[in-house]
Amino acid sequence: MNVTLLATIGAIIIIGLASYAGYLLLKLKRQKALQAHHQMLAIEKRNANIFDSVNVLCMAGINGQCDLSEASIRIYCIMDYVQGEQRVEDFDQAYPALSELYHTVKDMARGEERQALPKRERMQQNLARMKAESRLNDAIVEELKGLQQRIAPLNNQINIQLV
């Protein structure tokens, strides 16, 4: 009788522990799914903010409110931060004129560094930048319009509320 009683108590303990382990595994699975969902929402919100900024930069470039070289630098750099399926994998191939202008002006001095340059060197950089801008102007404006149309449906601002 003692053996039967001990076996029953042992079986009850084992069943209880197995049930608790199953409960914990189910809870862990739900938690991972919730984390993945929140991560996806965070990526979408971040991408929406990026696309909003890119839209503003495209508008400024198209309307001539911003130098095309400045727009190309900002757009090229900010598009690198897009995550997920909406990421432009090969920006250089998708937008060759923007990329060419970016690669032309990316190493030119800006701000205080530019002011420290000799006047002759500043003028040479200005001339190179202006030549590239005027040569690529029409192509860049068309690419900006295309980029703006591409990101317009992706620019869905999401209000995230934690539950």
Count the Cβ atoms, other than its own, within 10 Å of residue 125: 17
Domain that residue 57 falls in: 39-157
Q: For each of the chain's 163 residues, which pLDDT tens digit applies?
A: 688 888 999 999 999 999 999 999 999 999 999 999 999 888 888 888 888 889 999 999 998 898 888 899 999 989 888 887 878 878 888 889 999 999 888 888 777 888 888 888 888 888 888 888 889 888 999 999 988 888 877 665 555 555 5
- Residue 33 is predicted with a pLDDT of 95
What is the amino acid identity at position 151? Answer: I
Cβ-Cβ contacts under 8 Å for 101 (sequence gap 6 or more): 68, 69, 72, 132, 133, 136, 140
Tokens of 13: 């303990």
Whether residue 48 lies inside any domain: the answer is: yes
**Of 123, 84, 78, nearest in space to 98 by CA:** 78
- Residue 134 is predicted with a pLDDT of 87
Tokens of 20: 């608790």
Whether residue 153 lies inside any domain: the answer is: yes
Whether residue 99 lies inside any domain: the answer is: yes
- Residue 9 is predicted with a pLDDT of 93
Q: How many Cα atoms are found within 13 Å in the side-chain-facing hemisphere of 7? A: 4
* Total domains in the fold of the chain: 1
Whether residue 50 lies inside any domain: the answer is: yes
Whether residue 23 lies inside any domain: the answer is: no
Whether residue 163 lies inside any domain: the answer is: no
pTM greater than 0.85 (yes/no): no
Whether residue 49 lies inside any domain: the answer is: yes
If you compute the radius of gyration of the chain from its CA atoms, what whole number of angstroms results? 28
Whether residue 94 lies inside any domain: the answer is: yes
d(CA 49, CA 34): 23
d(CA 1, CA 23): 33
